[in-house]
């Protein structure tokens, strides 16, 4: 792969992009398109770690995404400076470190945009519905093997790619480079051969419904195809997007746990101090008043150090990244990896497995499976596949008009399933719970 081809400002379906403003590059326009989009706005009320947080300092998917984007921009610019200095043709073509920063910032901003309510447990709930319910099992007999793999292995990354490329959603079309940097797992769900040693093969990044879009961008960018199947190596900047996310959840989840009292201050302080190593200055820390402020100060120093370490690892492996040989998380190669492993162990024990988190995950399963049963059953009934009842018609009319029209116009049961998933996965946590309660008769409209 080569950088001149990898930095492509064109958008899907466009051969050239000629309307660039002197004030904003096409890659900066990507950032603006994402931040003003409805799916991004809904991240404000989607679980990051602590479900339905009442405390204003606990992160939601929205604040997490903004912070990942900030870290991603710094990482992109730092790496971009080295790459532009290394390749004279990039300078001659007008590219700068700011282009690298803009691509990584935009892709990082969008990295969680396809996540359903209740985080990863929401993904599991959608998959479990198709695997375990009578309606889900019946659908299996009506779709292809490849389509079935999409439904029983629901993936937020693929859902995000779908949001950007649905034919009826023209407002969030991104450049090839940003879309590719966003795609951490550039393959379909169904593969006959998987290489477990490659991090990019761990999950999948696009549904069968959007496979032609990914193939188009892969060809335009010159991504290396791994086999005759729908599988490619990552765009190099994807490693920076992944690193930005890893840096934030390693450090900031620990900060949240400390603020909530789930992780003792002294333990959090010592873990972050170990990341800093010789850069840790306890006498300077003591000048900061308040435990929360001290942890925030250490968090800022740790993020800066990890940005520098990840940038160094990227440049050390740049040749192998461009050839497709390197396929590991940058954070797994940094000097601080041992300490980061200790942080994750503490976070799993004291944050991710707290009773509040576990209880809400159980609720999430019940809510999402219940909503899928109601809406997917009603949508299928309107296609005449099953006898439609008055109840089904009423539930169907609760769908937004756009979805009603698309479901009525399409003949594919697979696409109907994806459209219902689009609607439900796009909900906020609170909206999903409230709607479930109403559909199940637990509460009436207008009741709290």
- Please write the tens of the pLDDT for every residue from 70-79: 999 999 999 9
Max mean pLDDT among 49-63, 252-266, 344-358 falls in: 252-266
Sign of CA pseudo-dihedral 438, 441, 442, 448: positive
pLDDT of 357 over the 90 cut = no
What does the DSSP 8-state code read for residue 351? Answer: I
Report the mean per-residue pLDDT for the chain. Answer: 89
Q: For residue 17, what pLDDT band results from cuts at 50, 70 and 90? A: low
- 4, 101, 241, 268, 400 from 31: Cα distances, Å: 21, 11, 14, 33, 27
Closest CA to 69 of 106, 100, 32: 106
Determine the pLDDT at residue 90. 94
The percentage of residues in the chain with a pLDDT greater than 70, rounded to a whole number, is 91
Q: Which residue has the higher pLDDT, 154 or 362?
A: 154
Q: For residue 322, what pLDDT band results from cuts at 50, 70 and 90? A: very high
pLDDT of 385 over the 70 cut = no
Determine the pLDDT at residue 445. 66
Judged on CB neighbours under 10 Å (0-12, 13-18, 19+), 119 is: buried
pTM here is: 0.92
**DSSP labels, 201-247:** GSS----GGGHHHHHHHHHHHTPPB-SSSSBBPPPTTHHHHHHHHHH
pLDDT of 121 over the 70 cut = yes
Query: How many whole angstroms separate alpha carbon 166 and alpha carbon 174?
Result: 12
Three-state SS at 151: helix
Least confident of 93-102, 139-148, 409-418: 409-418
pLDDT of 380 over the 70 cut = yes
Q: Which residues are registered as beta bridge partners of 11? A: 175
Determine the pLDDT at residue 337. 92
Here the tokens at position 6 are 């990898």
Q: Could you tell me which residues come within 8 angstroms of residue 411 by beta carbon, excluding any fewer than 6 positions away?
A: 383
Determine the pLDDT at residue 190. 86
Q: Which residue has the higher pLDDT, 59 or 91?
A: 91
Q: How many CB atoms lie within 10 A of CB 245?
A: 23
Three-state SS at 175: strand
- 114, 320, 440 from 128: Cα distances, Å: 18, 38, 20
pLDDT of 381 over the 60 cut = yes
Q: Could you tell me if 116 and 159 are in contact, meaning their C-beta atoms sit under 8 angstroms apart?
A: yes
Determine the pLDDT at residue 175. 94
Q: What is the mean pLDDT of residues 302-312?
A: 96
Least confident of 44-48, 90-94, 246-250, 339-343: 44-48
Q: What is the mean pLDDT of residues 348-368?
A: 82
Least confident of 57-61, 69-73, 101-105, 184-188: 57-61
**DSSP labels, 281-316:** -HHHHTTS-SHHHHHHHHHHHHHHHHHHHHHHHHHH
Least confident of 182-186, 276-280, 331-335, 440-444: 440-444
pLDDT of 55 over the 70 cut = no
């Amino acid at each position: 792969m080569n950088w001149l081809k990898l930095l492509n400002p064109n958008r899907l379906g466009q051969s050239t992009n000629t309307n660039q403003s002197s004030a904003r590059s096409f890659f900066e326009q990507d950032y603006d398109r994402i931040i003003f989009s409805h799916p991004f706005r809904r991240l404000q009320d989607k679980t990051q770690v602590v479900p339905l947080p009442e405390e204003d300092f606990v992160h939601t998917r929205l604040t997490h995404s903004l912070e990942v984007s900030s870290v991603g921009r710094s990482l992109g610019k730092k790496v971009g400076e080295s790459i532009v200095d290394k390749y004279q043709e990039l300078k001659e073509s007008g590219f700068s470190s700011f282009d690298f920063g803009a691509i990584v910032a935009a892709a990082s901003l969008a990295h969680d945009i396809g996540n359903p309510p209740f985080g990863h447990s929401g993904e599991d709930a959608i998959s479990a519905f198709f695997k375990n319910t009578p309606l889900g099992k019946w659908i299996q007999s009506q779709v292809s093997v490849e389509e079935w793999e999409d439904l029983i292995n629901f993936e937020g990354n693929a859902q995000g790619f779908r949001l950007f490329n649905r034919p009826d959603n023209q407002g969030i079309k991104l450049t090839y480079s940003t879309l590719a940097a966003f795609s951490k797992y550039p393959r379909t769900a169904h593969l006959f051969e998987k290489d477990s040693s490659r991090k990019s093969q761990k999950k999948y990044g696009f549904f069968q419904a959007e496979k032609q879009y990914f193939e188009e961008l892969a060809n335009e960018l010159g991504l290396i195809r791994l086999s005759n199947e729908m599988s490619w190596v990552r765009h190099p900047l994807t490693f920076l997007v992944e690193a930005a996310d890893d840096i934030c959840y390693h450090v900031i989840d620990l900060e949240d746990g400390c603020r909530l009292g789930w992780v003792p201050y002294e333990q959090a302080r010592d873990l972050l101090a170990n990341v800093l190593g010789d850069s840790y200055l306890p006498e300077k820390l003591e000048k900061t008043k308040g435990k929360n402020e001290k942890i925030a100060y250490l968090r800022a120093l740790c993020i800066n150090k990890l940005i520098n370490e990840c940038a160094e690892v990227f440049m050390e492996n740049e040749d192998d990244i461009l050839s497709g040989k390197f396929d590991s998380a940058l954070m797994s190669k940094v000097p601080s990896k041992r300490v980061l492993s200790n942080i994750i162990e503490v976070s799993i024990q004291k944050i991710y497995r707290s009773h509040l988190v576990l209880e809400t995950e159980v609720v999430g399963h019940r809510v999402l499976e219940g909503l899928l049963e109601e809406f997917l059953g009603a949508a299928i009934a309107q296609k005449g596949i099953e006898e439609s009842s008055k109840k089904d018609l009423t539930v169907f009319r609760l769908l937004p008009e756009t979805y009603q029209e698309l479901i009525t116009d399409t003949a594919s049961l697979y696409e109907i399933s994806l459209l219902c998933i689009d609607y439900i996965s796009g909900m906020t946590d609170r909206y999903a719970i409230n709607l479930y309660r109403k559909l199940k008769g637990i509460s009436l409209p207008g009741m709290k």
